Each structure stands twice: as C-alpha cells, then as structure tokens.
Amino acid sequence: MVFSSALSAFVLALPLLAVNAARTKRSLCPDGKNTAVNKACCALFPVVDDIVDNLFTNECGDSAHGALRLVFHDAIGISPTAGGGGADGSIATFNATELTFPANLGIDDILDDLGPFLLKHAATVSPGDFIQLAGAVSLVQCPGAPRIPFFSGRAQPKAASPPNLVPQPTDDVTSILERFASVGFSPAEVVAVVGGSHSVAGADDIVPNFQGIPFDQTPSQFDTQIFVDVLLHGTNFTDNGGPQSGESETAVAGTVRLQSDGLLARDPRTACTWQSFVNEQSKMAEAFGAAVLKLSFLGQNQHELTDCSEVIPQAIPVNFGPATFPPTKSIKDIDESCNTAKFPDLRTQPGPATTIAPIPQAESTSGSSS
Ligand code: HEM
Ligand SMILES: *[C@@H]1O[C@H](CO)[C@@H](O)[C@H](O)[C@H]1NC(C)=O
Ligand SMILES: *[C@@H]1O[C@H](CO)[C@@H](O)[C@H](O)[C@H]1NC(C)=O
C-alpha cells in the first residue's frame, strides 16, 4: 500500500521533473561565455558587467545608493487618479520635467552618474528596464541585501510623470501611507521598503553644504541598524546647526535622520512593524526585496515581461554581526514606540561615542555637482 502510493507519486512526479529540466536547461549565449535559460536575456550580461565594473565599481557606495533611489523615484510616478507610467523610465527620458519636482531634489546628480550608462546601452535596454536592472544589480553590491528578480521588456516611456507623486521627507505618515496605498502597498510594505532602502543611503542635498551624510551607522551594509538608529532619542546633526526642513534629530554624530523616517518609526500604524525588523536580518531583507520587486512592476504587466533574473549576480552574504546600540547608548535611549512587543535585547558597541564618516561621492561623468 505504502509502497504503491509512493511509487505512483514517483511516477507522477517524473513528467514534472522533465518539464522542469527543459525549463532550466541553459544554453550558451552568443558571447561564448555566459549561459542562459532564456536566450533573450543573453544581451543583458554585458550591460550588467559594465555597470558592476564601471558604475558601481563593485561597491555599495554612492552610485549603488543612487541607483536604488532612482528605482523608487521612477516607479512611484503613477496614480489611479493622476495617471503616469510607473516604472517606465520617464524620470530619465523626461528628466527636463521630472527633475523640476521638489521631491526629486538630488536626482540630477544620480542621473549625471547613471545616465551615461543608460544612454550607452539604449539599443539593448529600454530606460524603464535599465533603471530596474541597475537597481537590482545595485543591491547585490551591498552585503546582506537580497538578490531580487529582474523582468525585462518595459516599453519606452510615453510622458513625464504627473507632479506630486513622490513622497517628501516633510510629509506626514498619513499622506505617505495614502500615497503608497493608492498603488497597492500596505503600511507594513511601506516600512520594509523605506526602512530597508535607507539602510544603504544618505543625504547628498537636504543637508545644506554637506554631501553623503548617512542615515545610519552602516551605509555600506544592508543591515537592520537603521531600524535602531532612527528610534534613538535625538541629538542634532552636529555640523549644520540643527535640523533643516525635512530632517529631524539624530543620535549618532555624522548621521542625519529624515523626519519621515523618524515619524514612520514612531507612528502607531507603523511602529510595531518598524521595530519588528530590528535585528531580524533575513525577515527584513525578504520583506524589502518583495516590496522593491512590487515597485518594479508599477504601471507594467508582469505577464508581458520576460524573467531575466538569471542575469543578476549572486547576493553578497551577511558579513556583519547583529544590530547594536551605538557606543554609550542603550535601551534607555530608545523611543519605545510599539505597545505590543518589547524592543529586542541588543549589545552596546564598546568605547566612546564615534562620528560616522560621510559616504564618498560618485564622480559623475558630466562633472556636474549641482
Ligand atoms: C516616504 C518615502 C521616502 C522619502 C520621503 C524619502 C526621502 C529621501 C530623501 C530626502 C533622501 C536624501 C536625498 C538627498 O539629500 O540627496 C533619500 C535618499 C535615499 N532614498 Fe529615500 N525616501 C523614501 C523612500 C525610499 C524608497 C522606497 C527607496 C528605495 C526603494 C529609497 C531609496 C533611497 C536611497 C537609496 C537614498 C540614498 C541616495 C544616495 O545616497 O545618493 N527611498 N530619500
Ligand atoms: C535628459 O533629457 C534630455 C532632453 O530633455 C535628453 O537629451 C537626455 O538624454 C535625458 N537624459 C537621460 C539620461 O535620459
Ligand atoms: C536640535 O535643534 C533644534 C532646532 O535647532 C532644537 O530645537 C533642539 O533643542 C535641538 N536638540 C538637541 C538635543 O540639541
């Protein structure tokens, strides 16, 4: 009895295995070097190699951070009422319009850096695909970040995004959640995608006269430290005489906190999700990865795109320890904001308080630094 049902399960499984094998059979690309299951993806390998070597230079630095920010600022440009094409590349093609939007402050420098690569590969990759491809490849420059799928085939953008669709750091939690909800994101997805991305991020523009001011202690690691640092009681960014518009107080010298991040970490609608990511690396990376993939499909029909995830290099594994309190800080310094769960136990980093160094700035090809 047991034997025969096991056998029939085995026999039934065979055709499935055969189909699976056919689907995963890799063939050699025309370059004679790479292999792909889907030959249509072959042309992307040289694009990926170029941006890894020459744009990101194998680092989770300013260019990689900029590419990730661009994913969001392109994709969120869609609304059920105002229209827009979402993840369509309009922020590049219609930069003359979209860069005038206040929320796109700093995107000019990112396009100066990434734009030449987008234009160089324009015959192979549409602007919408390039931005999402660069975003997926930027993540695998960052230790701890997920390797997310990449789908190819976005059409050329038709028009600029309507204005006022990109959230601003001065926005309150209600308007941020409403903006995201209108394109299908739950509050938990908002926390994952905003907090996770700002783990590998900093401000190049909103702190006057300073560039590369990190949002957490570890801007080159995709870790959960941001979820701790943003919940600490504030002292001010030491070098600029207190918070400017859109910033709020921060507890680690050399870092700056976006007002919107500080609010999301403390609001009753989002605080428990925010805290739930503290020291939960794989949970955070997974939730973030799923939410970024969702961004990449805004305005697109996944079924009309081709899965070219195979061109994305392997992720860099976690090469860092657990989240910690910064030196001299402890649970006493945390604004405990979740009523239903205790803040996790963390170790305090030894030694005196430190100042976090700025993120070195990418040199844009066009030399603009406005
Ligand atoms: C409520 C939503 C969000 C707000 C208000 C916001 C705001 C900001 C601001 C003001 C900056 C600094 C800009 C500068 O001074 O140069 C920034 C940086 C950044 N943001 Fe966001 N952001 C949000 C969501 C996201 C999302 C969803 C992503 C990606 C999926 C993202 C990725 C980044 C990255 C990677 C940077 C660093 C860029 C760099 O270092 O060059 N942000 N964000
Ligand atoms: C920015 O817009 C100009 C035209 O307004 C265009 O020539 C240029 O190619 C655009 N940049 C990118 C990266 O698409
Ligand atoms: C930070 O700066 C703001 C405005 O400049 C000020 O009101 C606040 O007291 C400062 N906080 C600390 C802890 O220094």
Q: Return mean pLDDT, the chain.
A: 90
Do the beta carbons of residue 262 and residue 229 sit within 8 Å? no
The answer to whether residue 352 sits within a structural domain is: no
Together in a domain, 304 and 227: no
Together in a domain, 303 and 159: yes
Name the pLDDT band for 246 (thresholds 50, 70, 90). Answer: low
| Global confidence as pTM | 0.90
Together in a domain, 204 and 106: no
What pLDDT was estimated at residue 238? 41
Closest residue CA from atom 13 of ligand 1: 203
The answer to whether residue 23 sits within a structural domain is: no
Closest residue CA from atom 6 of ligand 3: 242
Closest by Cα among 88, 51, 47, 87 to 66: 51
Of the listed 73, 121, 233, 303, which one is catalytic? Answer: 73
The answer to whether residue 346 sits within a structural domain is: no
User: Rounded to the nearest whole angstrom, what is the distance from the C-alpha of residue 258 to the centroid of ligand 3?
Assistant: 15
Do the beta carbons of residue 325 and residue 252 sit within 8 Å? no
64: domain CATH number is 1.10.520.10
Say yes or no to pLDDT of 155 above 70: yes
Name the pLDDT band for 254 (thresholds 50, 70, 90). Answer: confident
Together in a domain, 57 and 180: no
Together in a domain, 217 and 272: yes
Say yes or no to pLDDT of 24 above 60: yes
Name the pLDDT band for 22 (thresholds 50, 70, 90). Answer: low
Q: Which residues on adjacent β-strands are paired with residue 83?
A: 79
Tokens of 339: 């009523």
Together in a domain, 162 and 186: no
Say yes or no to pLDDT of 368 above 60: no
Together in a domain, 192 and 141: no
Is 198 a known ligand-binding residue?
yes
Average pLDDT rounded to a whole number, residues 189-211 = 94
Do the beta carbons of residue 153 and residue 258 sit within 8 Å? no
Say yes or no to pLDDT of 334 above 90: yes
Name the pLDDT band for 370 (thresholds 50, 70, 90). Answer: very low
* Higher pLDDT among residues 21 and 160, named by residue: 160
Say yes or no to pLDDT of 23 above 80: no
Counting the structural domains of the chain, the total is 2
Say yes or no to pLDDT of 323 above 60: yes
Q: Is 196 in the pocket of ligand 1 (CB under 6 A)?
A: no
Together in a domain, 313 and 324: no
Q: Select from 95, 113, 120, 364 the residue to mutate for testing ligand 2; criterion: most ligand atoms less than 8 Å from CB.
A: 95
Together in a domain, 72 and 141: yes
What pLDDT was estimated at residue 8? 40
What pLDDT was estimated at residue 247? 54
Q: What is the pLDDT of residues 108-151, one digit of tens each?
A: 999 999 999 999 999 999 999 999 999 999 999 999 999 999 99
219: domain CATH number is 1.10.420.10
65 carries an active-site annotation:
no
Say yes or no to pLDDT of 19 above 70: no
Average pLDDT rounded to a whole number, residues 177-185 = 98
C-alpha 325/C-alpha 177 separation (Å) is 29
Please give the share of the chain, as a percent, with pLDDT higher than 90: 81
Pairing of strands 213-214, 347-348: unpaired
**Domain region containing 188:** 173-282+320-333
Together in a domain, 203 and 241: yes
Closest residue CA from atom 8 of ligand 1: 169
The answer to whether residue 245 sits within a structural domain is: yes
* Higher pLDDT among residues 13 and 89, named by residue: 89
Q: What is the pLDDT of residues 226-235, one digit of tens each?
A: 999 999 987 5
Q: Select from 249, 257, 259, 329 the residue to mutate for testing ligand 3; criterion: most ligand atoms less than 8 Å from CB.
A: 249
Together in a domain, 155 and 297: yes
C-alpha 85/C-alpha 301 separation (Å) is 11
Do the beta carbons of residue 134 and residue 128 sit within 8 Å? no
Say yes or no to pLDDT of 332 above 70: yes
